[in-house]
């Protein structure tokens, strides 16, 4: 099991000391967690994820080069063709799909060839960081063998239900847990103590894989 902490801004170096597998940097200007600073020196074991919402391909490629990104998280209405155009960046591509009460998994098929991972988040007013959990049991209908990230309002209060989900058949292809707003003192400033506790609780039940290949 891998851990991604998204919405990095004010204290990424401190979060990096907890050794998550991924750190997410949001490049969508309307976000209160928008990142426009200098990328800190991070351990090579941590993958830097650039989060974009319907950005121009040229802009995404520029950010990949400027910040040496390792992965792209696409949080908008990006088409399969759009994703294919980003393969030239030679980084992992994570396509996000938002879920409320139900989801048509057939839409995933068109993205199979151009994406490395899927992510399932809660549908809300914003593309992400809404702080609400969707009904994870929907994922028992997941038809793909492609690994996915589980996101959407996951915090310490959800640890029991999360552990129960990770023991269920619905989590078979769950590759990583993505956390953000539930671990913040303010947007972009993470609560290190709570993140440490969350990772410890998960680690006590599931082995975190340090191989990021």
In the numeric block, which tokens belong to residue 67? 């910040």
| Mean residue pLDDT across the chain | 92
**Which pLDDT tens digit goes with each residue over 122-134?**
976 555 455 668 9
Element (H, E) at 52: strand 47-52
The residue range of the domain holding 185 is: 2-203
| Whole-angstrom distance, CA of residue 162 vs CA of residue 48 | 24
Evaluate whether 83 touches 111 at the Cβ level (below 8 Å).
Answer: yes
Evaluate whether 60 touches 13 at the Cβ level (below 8 Å).
Answer: no
Phi, psi of 3, deg, nearest 5? -125, 130
Identify whether 212 is part of a domain.
Answer: no
**Which pLDDT tens digit goes with each residue over 111-166?**
999 999 999 999 765 554 556 689 999 999 999 999 999 999 999 999 999 999 99
Evaluate whether 124 touches 175 at the Cβ level (below 8 Å).
Answer: no
Q: What is the mean pLDDT of residues 89-111?
A: 95
Q: What is the mean pLDDT of residues 101-113?
A: 95
Identify whether 211 is part of a domain.
Answer: no
Residue-level pLDDT at 126: 59
In the numeric block, which tokens belong to residue 3? 């851990």
Taking the CB of residue 70, how many other CB atoms lie within 10 A of it? 18
Q: Residue 100 contacts by C-beta under 8 Å, 6 or more apart in sequence?
A: 122, 123, 134
Identify whether 210 is part of a domain.
Answer: no
| Whole-angstrom distance, CA of residue 124 vs CA of residue 187 | 17
In the numeric block, which tokens belong to residue 140? 């028992």
Evaluate whether 120 touches 108 at the Cβ level (below 8 Å).
Answer: no
**Which whole-number Å values give the CA distances from 93 to 78, 186, 207, in the listed order?**
12, 28, 24
Identify whether 213 is part of a domain.
Answer: no
Identify whether 49 is part of a domain.
Answer: yes
In the numeric block, which tokens belong to residue 212? 């990021």
Identify whether 111 is part of a domain.
Answer: yes
Identify whether 46 is part of a domain.
Answer: yes
- 0.75 exceeded by the pTM? yes
β-bridge mates for residue 24, sequence order: 49
Hey, is 55 helix, strand or coil?
Answer: coil
Q: The domain that contains 44 carries what CATH number?
A: 3.20.20.70
Evaluate whether 52 touches 75 at the Cβ level (below 8 Å).
Answer: yes
100 pLDDT higher than 90: no
Identify whether 127 is part of a domain.
Answer: yes
Which pLDDT band holds residue 203 (cuts at 50, 70, 90)? confident
Task: Give the number of domains in the chain.
Answer: 1
């Amino acid at each position: 099991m891998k851990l991604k902490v998204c919405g990095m801004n004010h204290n990424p170096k401190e979060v990096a000391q907890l050794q998550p597998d991924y750190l997410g940097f949001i490049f969508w200007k309307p976000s209160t967690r928008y990142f426009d600073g200098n990328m800190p020196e991070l351990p090579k074991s941590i993958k830097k994820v650039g989060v974009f919402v319907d950005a121009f391909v040229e802009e995404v490629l520029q950010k990949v080069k400027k910040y040496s990104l390792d992965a792209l998280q696409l949080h908008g209405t990006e088409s399969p063709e759009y994703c294919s155009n980003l393969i030239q960046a030679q980084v992992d591509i994570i396509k996000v799909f938002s879920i409320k009460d139900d989801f048509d998994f057939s839409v995933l098929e068109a993205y199979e060839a151009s994406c490395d991972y899927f992510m399932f988040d809660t549908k809300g007013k914003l593309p992400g960081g809404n702080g609400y959990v969707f009904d994870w049991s929907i994922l028992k209908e997941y038809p793909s063998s492609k690994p996915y990230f589980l996101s959407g309002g996951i915090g310490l209060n959800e640890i029991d239900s999360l552990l129960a989900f990770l023991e269920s058949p619905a989590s078979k292809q769950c590759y990583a847990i993505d956390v953000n707003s539930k671990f913040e003192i303010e947007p972009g400033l993470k609560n290190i103590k709570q993140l440490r506790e969350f990772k410890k609780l998960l680690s006590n039940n599931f082995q975190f894989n340090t191989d990021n290949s």
